[in-house]
Amino acid sequence: MKRHYLLALCIVGFFACRKAPDLGQLSVNFVVQTSKEPDANFGGYKTYYISDSIALINSNPTDDSLWFDNDAKQLVEAVRANMDARGYTEVSSSHAGPDLGLGLTAIKDLNIGVIYPGWWWGYWGGCYWGYCGYPPYYPWYGGGGIVYSVPTGTIVLDMIDLKNAGADGKLTVPWGSVMSGGLGYTSDDIQLGIQAIDQSFTQSPYIQTN
């Protein structure tokens, strides 16, 4: 009888393993996560500015290198095209008083945590947007913030409210997109990045001037 129990247990043990999922069907498209501040009024903004360069974040916290080759410009152009299509007007300089500042960041070689929506998370530090003194990775844990884990290969697009900057210089982020994928791994990545930027706006129809 004990042999029977043993046989039964062996049969059961054969099936006991958790099945490994078939991931072969997964696409290489970026995962696009967007979030907006609940009270954001996108109709109140008219102008925007975006730099031609993209900030690169990697495992060296003192490395503030910029990405400004033709690939970077294609990603920036995708943001421009979407903003223009939504009725916003680009200004030529960040010192020309734009209502919105748009910043693209590419994450390489590290996983970090950011919080949306809330204050601009200050990954560039320094005096970007004309506001100085904020350390890199400035955290804001205020009400309703969403914590994202941002892995390697991610593009981050921040929309920063410059029109309503407070006297304390804190910059709010009414909208942001975190696009996670394989940036830097294949020659198709830039096209995938452009598609991800387009998708960010597609799933955010509330971004419109009045």
Partner 1 sequence: MKKLIITSILFFAATAIFAQHNMIGGTWNINVPTNTTYLTKTSFAGGKIDYRHFVKHKNVSFGVALDWASYDQYFPSQTIQKPDGNGAVTSDFVAQVYQVPFVATTHFYFREGKMVKPFAGIGLGASYMEQSLFYNVYESDENNWGFVARPELGAIIMPSGNNWGILVGANYSIATNKTELINSDSFKSFGFNLGIVFIE
Report d(CA 54, CA 50) in Å as an integer: 10
Q: In terms of residues, how long is the chain?
A: 210
Contact 52/94 with Cβ under 8 angstroms?
no
To partner 1, the closest distance from the beta carbon of 69 in angstroms equals 24
Look at residues 191, 149, 148, 157 and name the one whose alpha carbon lies nearest to residue 28: 191
To partner 1, the closest distance from the beta carbon of 75 in angstroms equals 17
Nearer to partner 1, 45 or 49 (CB): 45
Chain residues in the site for partner 1 (CB under 8 A) = 1-2, 4-5, 8-9, 11-13, 15-16, 18-19, 21-23, 25-38, 117, 146, 151, 153, 180-182, 199, 203-204
Can the peptide bond before residue 205 be classed as cis, meaning omega within 30 degrees of 0?
no
The Cα angle at residue 87 between residues 95 and 192, in degrees rounded to 5? 90
Contact 139/121 with Cβ under 8 angstroms?
yes
Contact 131/165 with Cβ under 8 angstroms?
yes
To partner 1, the closest distance from the beta carbon of 142 in angstroms equals 14
The Cα angle at residue 111 between residues 106 and 112, in degrees rounded to 5? 85
Nearer to partner 1, 91 or 190 (CB): 190
Nearer to partner 1, 36 or 80 (CB): 36
Nearer to partner 1, 37 or 99 (CB): 37
To partner 1, the closest distance from the beta carbon of 202 in angstroms equals 8
Nearer to partner 1, 136 or 182 (CB): 182
Nearer to partner 1, 25 or 93 (CB): 25
To partner 1, the closest distance from the beta carbon of 116 in angstroms equals 8
Over the range 90-108, which residues count as b (16 or more CB within 10 Å of their CB) and which as e?
ebeeeeeebbbbbbbbbbb
Contact 145/163 with Cβ under 8 angstroms?
no
To partner 1, the closest distance from the beta carbon of 78 in angstroms equals 16
